[in-house]
Structure 1
Amino acid sequence: MKMLTVALLSAIAGPAWAQSHAHAHTDAAPAAAPAAADHSKMDHSKMDHSNMDHSAMDQSTMDHGGVDHPQMDHSTMDHAAMGHGTAPVAPREPIPEVTDADRAAAFPPINHDAMEHAPNVHSLLLINRLEHWDGQHGTGQAWEAGGWVGGNINRLWVRSEGERSGGRTESSDLEVLYGRSVSPWWDVLVGVKQDFRPADSRTWAAFGIQGLAPYKFETSATAYVGEGGQLAATVEVEYELLLTNRLILQPLVEATLAARDEPEHGMGAGLNKAEAGLRLRYEFSRRFAPYIGVSHERLFGDTADYHQAAGEHTRDTRWVAGVRVWF
């Protein structure tokens, strides 16, 4: 009986003692936190960073060894000692100076034989002016045309110009010339010229040059040696000013000179004729372009006197309208 009583008291007192023991631990002061890890003594090389969750770290509270990065003066750092390196002041391999041999290699002389890429023969016919004019002393027609056939270096040139007035041909000529390219922009010409006039047909030996002068001036200068030793020359300069891709303004200046007087041919020494024109054309295509313009002609010196004595006018201003085509 006594033993049964002791067992009952133990069963009743056990839970009560456990509950009071738990309250005693709750009311007591919390246990001290474990000491902070000393990172300076930690061997980071043995830590497995791949399994660490860096996103959960509070970077703002981490102590990076007392380094205050915003207050650091990077300009005083010895980057060479830190392993970053510095750019060299001078190139490791100095750039050599340009020599005359380098310039000669960059701009070699033109090899005309190499420019003849193929034996194909090409051709062009340009009617630069085919126009009707209305001047102070009448009306008429005029033309100027030229063409060539050949390769890139050697060509056969044909040129012609003339004028009609009052239903008859006042002047006309035909030139047949051999041309050879002496540079990318210039050709040298040699050949013959034949004048066709009602009472003054003459044959000339012709020597000249034509091409594109600086600033894109189309230039032609030809000297003529005629019968009886007469020397004459013609110089023509044209320029094309693109107002739009199709609207083009073309000024022209042409002058004729002679070495000596020839009254029988109405030709005086020195500058005997000059023409200045301005033509505005519209290119419906590159091959076909109508134009309008104005032209002024004037005779000088003894040439003017000879024509005036024959009852002809020595100057004239003309309005012109025509077409420019090429094939």
Structure 2
Amino acid sequence: MRTVLFTLLLTTAAPVFAQDHAGHAEHEPATKSAETDCEQEAERHRAMGHPVPEGQCEPEGPAGMDHGARDHSPMDHGQMEGMDHSQMDHSQIEGVDHSQMGHGAMEQPGAAEIPFSPPPSEAGSGPPRAADAIWGADAMRASRDGLPSELGDTLYYWVQGDRVEYRAREGEDGYLWDVQGYYGGDLDKFWFKSEGEGSFGEEIESAEVQALYSRAIAPFFDLQAGIRQDLAPMGRTHAVVGIQGLAPYLFEVDAAAFLSDKGNLTARIEAELDQRITQRLILQPRVEASFSAQDVPELGIGAGLDAIEAGLRLRYHFAREFAPYIGIDQEWRIGQSADYARAEDEDPSVTNYLAGIRFWF
């Protein structure tokens, strides 16, 4: 019996709950009328002793929503007829699936990873002198003729005083110079070099000048060939073949073999490395070794390893082109060369305390 009555109650209220949202202007009176009819029907059933569920006549929708307090007048409900808001998926507005949107993918322009793959096979496969097809060969000739001089045929000159120094040592102080430079382009250059040393108040111990043709054989190395002229202790001329450049780990290397007009074959190799303490303060270790294929008694040179020189120089660049330095240098005469030095009443091992300048222009 209760089931029949409850069904009757729902049937009576159903037309009221099924009213369409044709317009919110009519929504408030219709809602109040439906609530009144439902309450009247529920009261009638209570008078008959039939139980009525609590909240049966409360309006559907979010709890506590007062439609009468909302101003729906700006909304054009005439265009919203037939629209089922309850089935609308707002995440799909304008075709955008916000639930699938990864905000991590919203990166700044240009933040994409730079590819390191080789260029495509078609790169550089175009016809040579393609501009001629557009502008004509005559119009492009002047630009083409000027290209080598602008990009690869420029001539440079450079001069560096690598070591120009005062040498304080036991007994007799001395001096040393080591100057070199070149003139030429990227591939072909004319090199000149000069170095020598001596003691104050005495004759120059050694002095030489080199004139070399240099050809680039690798990105950081030049092959050099030319002549060397000794000015002291005696005049001799040498044919020179050598190599100069920047070795791995930034070692500056200068190696050469010399064949004198007397038939004596000697060689010399120098290596130095700039260790930056700061951008201006630089520590430079340097080593030099000389060799000879035979004894040359008149020059005090013994066969094999003739001499070794190693030193440290600490320089400060007031400007990139000018840097004074201080340092220490040790010389050793080896083997037969040491015997020649002793015979001349000279010490085969000498320590030098240095002060000098390094410059270039």
Contact 1:115 1:152 survives alignment (8 Å): no
Cα distance in 2 for residues equivalent to 1:321 and 1:193:
28
Equivalence for 1:258: 292
Contact 2:152 2:186 survives alignment (8 Å): no
Equivalence for 1:239: 273
Contact 2:271 2:288 survives alignment (8 Å): yes
Please point out which of 8, 18, 28 is paired with 1:37: 18
1:51 has 2:76 as partner: yes
1:189 has 2:224 as partner: yes
Equivalence for 1:224: 258
Q: CA deviation at 1:227?
A: 2.4
TM-score by length of 1: 0.67
Secondary structure of the corresponding residue to residue 138 of structure 1: coil
Q: CA deviation at 1:202?
A: 1.3
Contact 1:116 1:151 survives alignment (8 Å): no
Q: Which has the higher contact order (CA 8 A, sep 6+)?
A: 1
Equivalence for 1:58: none
Secondary structure of the corresponding residue to residue 186 of structure 2: coil
Equivalence for 1:312: 346
Aligned-residue RMSD, C-alpha: 3.7
Q: CA deviation at 1:256?
A: 0.4
The count of corresponding residues between Structure 1 and Structure 2 is 249
Task: Please list every run of 5 or more consecutive structure 2 residues that lacks an aligned counterpart in the other structure.
Answer: 1-11, 21-74, 79-83, 90-99, 101-116, 126-146
1:169 has 2:204 as partner: yes
Task: Please list every run of 5 or more consecutive structure 1 residues that lacks an aligned counterpart in the other structure.
Answer: 1-30, 40-49, 54-61, 68-83, 85-96, 106-112
Cα distance in 2 for residues equivalent to 1:241 and 1:194:
33
Cα distance in 2 for residues equivalent to 1:244 and 1:52:
77
- Which digits, 9 at most, give the CA deviation of each residue in 1:294-318, with x for residues without a partner? 0000100101111111111101111
Residue correspondence of structure 1 range 143-158 to structure 2 within 5 A: 143-158=177-192
Contact 1:145 1:159 survives alignment (8 Å): yes
Cα distance in 2 for residues equivalent to 1:38 and 1:276:
105
Secondary structure of the corresponding residue to residue 16 of structure 2: coil
2:172 corresponds to which letter in structure 1? G
- Which digits, 9 at most, give the CA deviation of each residue in 1:213-254, with x for residues without a partner? 001110111011112321111100010111111111111000
Secondary structure of the corresponding residue to residue 182 of structure 2: strand
- Which digits, 9 at most, give the CA deviation of each residue in 1:267-322, with x for residues without a partner? 11111111101001110000111100000001001011111111111011111001
Q: CA deviation at 1:117?
A: 2.8
TM-score by length of 2: 0.61
Cα distance in 1 for residues equivalent to 2:159 and 2:178:
11
Please point out which of 321, 336, 342 is paired with 1:302: 336
- The runs of at least 4 aligned residues of structure 1 exceeding 6 Å deviation read 113-116
Cα distance in 1 for residues equivalent to 2:18 and 2:220:
87
Cα distance in 2 for residues equivalent to 1:116 and 1:274:
45
1:51 corresponds to which letter in structure 2? D
1:197 corresponds to which letter in structure 2? A
Cα distance in 2 for residues equivalent to 1:232 and 1:281:
32
Q: CA deviation at 1:37?
A: 3.3
Q: CA deviation at 1:36?
A: 2.2
